[in-house]
Amino acid sequence: MSSVVLLLSGPNLNLLGTREPDVYGTETLDDHVATATATAAVHDLEIEHFQSNHEGELIEAIQGARDRVAAIVINPGALTHSSWAIHDALAAFSGVIVELHLSNPKARESWRHVSVVAPVATGSIVGFGGDGYRLAIEAVAAQLAP
Ligand code: DQA
């Protein structure tokens, strides 16, 4: 079985560190990728990270993960609340899927309360800030454990 975990970051997450730090914290995306990579190493897993502000590029990354990686951890940013195309791409992936958010969308504006990704995810980790990246990889490792 593959030991690769694809970590996907959606629109505007490249701005973490300076983007609404009161909501998303001051750590950068590179910091979060480092957390995920260090956690993965403990479990003999390898992180492959891809960030895009473009829905189609994220869909192509999900398609490219089929039959190649063991799990996808995805923070789709605002596409969480609207992208049925990402929903469908994830539905065609047969491994573990973790939906990840720094903030707790359910505690925010009403338009963030719906996730079209959640129904095709194995589970969701929300609201724990940067620690969510560690928790998401721990969850993947537990799911992949024999
Ligand atoms: C987010 C939550 C989304 O509602 C928002 O659009 C983001 C970030 C989070 O990590 O908390 O871009 O996915």
SS3 137: helix
Q: Say how many Å lie between the CA of residue 79 and the centre of ligand 1.
A: 9
pLDDT digits (tens, 9 = 90+) for 86-126: 999 999 999 999 999 999 999 999 999 999 999 999 999 99
pLDDT tens-digit series, residues 1-29: 789 999 999 999 999 999 999 999 999 99
d(CA 100, CA 120): 13
Q: Residues 34-89: pLDDT tens digits?
A: 999 999 999 999 999 999 999 999 999 999 999 999 999 999 999 999 999 999 99
For residue 139 the two structure tokens come to 């969850």
Distance 119 CA to ligand 1 centre (A): 17
Structure confidence at residue 34 (pLDDT)? 98
Q: What is the pLDDT of residue 103?
A: 98
Q: Output the pLDDT for position 1.
A: 78
For ligand 1, the distance from its centroid to the CA atom of residue 146, given in whole angstroms, is 32
Residue 19: CB partners within 8 Å, gap ≥ 6? Answer: 12
pTM, entire model: 0.98
Cα 111 from Cα 58, distance rounded (Å): 22
Residue 133 among the catalytic residues? no
What is the DSSP pairing of strand 123-126 with strand 96-101? parallel
* pLDDT for position 39: 98
What secondary structure does DSSP assign to 76-135, as a single string?
-GGGGGT-HHHHHHHHT--SEEEEEESS-GGGS-GGGS--SSGGGSSEEEESSTTHHHHH
Residue whose Cα lies nearest atom 7 of ligand 1: it is: 77
Atom of ligand 1 minimally distant from the CA of 13:
12
Give the whole-angstrom CA distance, residue 52 versus residue 8.
8
Strand order in the sheet with 96-101: 46-51, 4-9, 71-75, 96-101, 123-126
* Per-residue model confidence (pLDDT) at position 146: 87
Q: Name every protein residue with a CB atom under 6 angstroms from any ligand 1 atom.
A: 12, 75, 77-78, 80, 101-103, 105, 112
